[in-house]
């Protein structure tokens, strides 16, 4: 199917910011499950922005925002043609070796409870283990909007038994890595079913399966990504895969507003 996306992020500051430099990971890449038909980023300085591909395979634009601004809007938009691959992303060409994705971060370090959950889910193959683990995390952690924040760790969310897609993904990463399975955090967009109560900007994980390459698992929805998913970035955890990262001088604490619209393009 063909899906259109408009992802707008607005920052407003109580006082004038004198300088900002941002790294934007806001450009999806083509692959077995998606073809980028058109895509653009609207941001101050984007026309002259330096760009590079990071170790995780994400295209990064580095923009320097002009001095003297009290608000900032960033927009990424375009059209993606998707195909249902049963969640299989396959073998990708990022510089990072798969062993890197065994590394824990503060957000994805397991405790005894998460390790025990992983041990109970372990099956005869890595693929069967990941499916069992996805179902176990889905059952153990209820999806509750605004019940956690961006700094919540896998351990904290699992102990509370509630969270959002970021928390489901962090718990899955912690559990998979505790079993020696390489796993990475993925952000992207989800074309929602009518009446669904969830954000269109979404997160899930991919695990390295010897015979298939990278395979996606979405514990928040208890399914492997379909043609309703658009893959945007990947990394060790939510912070590493964040679409926008940067530094700013001045402006005090910002007020952030994010709007994501995802819809199917009619034939």
Band of the pLDDT at 251, cuts 50, 70, 90?
low
Q: What is the pLDDT of residue 238?
A: 97
CATH code of domain 88-235: 3.10.620.30
Question: Is residue 68 over pLDDT 80?
Answer: no
Q: pLDDT class for 19, splitting at 50, 70, 90?
A: confident
Nearest to residue 190, comparing CAs of 171, 157, 214, 218? 218
Task: Decide if pLDDT at 69 tops 90.
Answer: no
Average pLDDT of the residues of the chain: 93
CA distances from residue 75 to 35, 69, 111, 216 in whole angstroms, order as listed:
20, 17, 38, 26
According to the model, what pLDDT value does residue 253 have? 72
pLDDT of the residue at 255: 78
Q: What is the mean pLDDT of residues 171-190?
A: 98
The pLDDT score that the predictor gives to residue 195 is: 55
Residue 152 has a pLDDT of 96
More confident position, 64 or 118: 118
CATH of domain 2-82+243-264: 2.60.40.2250
Collapsing DSSP to helix, strand or coil, 176 comes out as helix
Structural domain boundaries in the chain: 2-82+243-264, 88-235
> ∠265-82-167 over CA atoms, to 5°?
105
**Lowest mean pLDDT: which of 63-67, 78-82, 197-201, 209-213?**
197-201
Question: 38-47, 57-66, 196-205, 244-253: lowest mean pLDDT where?
Answer: 244-253
CB neighbours of 69 closer than 8 A, spacing ≥ 6?
13, 16, 17, 20, 44
Contact 9, 1 (CB under 8 A): no
Residue in 150, 142, 138, 157 with CA at minimum distance from that of residue 217: 138
The model's pTM is: 0.94
| pLDDT for 37 | 97
Q: What share of the chain is helix, strand, coil (3-state, %, to 5)?
A: 20, 45, 35
Share of the chain above pLDDT 70, in %: 95
| Average pLDDT of the segment spanning 13-32 | 87
Q: In terms of Cα–Cα distance, which of 72, 76, 73 is closest to 61? A: 76
> 2-82+243-264 with 88-235: one CATH topology?
no
């Amino acid at each position: 199917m063909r899906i259109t996306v408009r992802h707008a992020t607005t920052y407003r500051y109580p006082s004038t910011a004198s300088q900002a430099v941002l790294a934007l990971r806001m450009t999806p890449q083509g692959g077995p499950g998606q073809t980028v038909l058109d895509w653009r980023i609207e941001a101050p300085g984007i026309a002259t922005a330096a760009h590079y591909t990071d170790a995780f395979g994400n295209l990064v634009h580095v923009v320097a925002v002009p001095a003297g601004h009290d608000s900032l809007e960033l927009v990424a938009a375009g059209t993606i043609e998707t195909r249902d691959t049963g969640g299989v992303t396959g073998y990708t060409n990022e510089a990072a070796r798969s062993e890197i994705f065994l590394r824990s971060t503060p957000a994805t370090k397991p405790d005894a409870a998460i390790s025990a959950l992983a041990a109970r889910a372990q099956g005869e193959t890595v693929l069967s283990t990941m499916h069992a683990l996805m179902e176990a995390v889905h059952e153990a952690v209820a999806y509750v909007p605004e019940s956690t924040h961006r700094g919540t760790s896998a351990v904290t969310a699992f102990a509370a038994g509630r969270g959002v897609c970021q928390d489901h993904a962090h718990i899955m990463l912690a559990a998979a890595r505790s079993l020696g399975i390489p796993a990475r955090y993925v952000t992207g967009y989800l074309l929602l079913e009518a009446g669904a109560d969830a954000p269109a900007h979404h997160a899930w994980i991919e695990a390295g399966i010897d015979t298939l390459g990278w395979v996606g698992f979405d514990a928040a929805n208890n399914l492997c990504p379909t043609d309703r998913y658009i893959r945007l970035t990947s990394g060790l955890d939510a912070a590493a895969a964040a679409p926008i990262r940067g530094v700013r001088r001045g402006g005090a604490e910002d007020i952030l507003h994010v709007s994501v619209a995802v819809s199917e393009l009619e034939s």
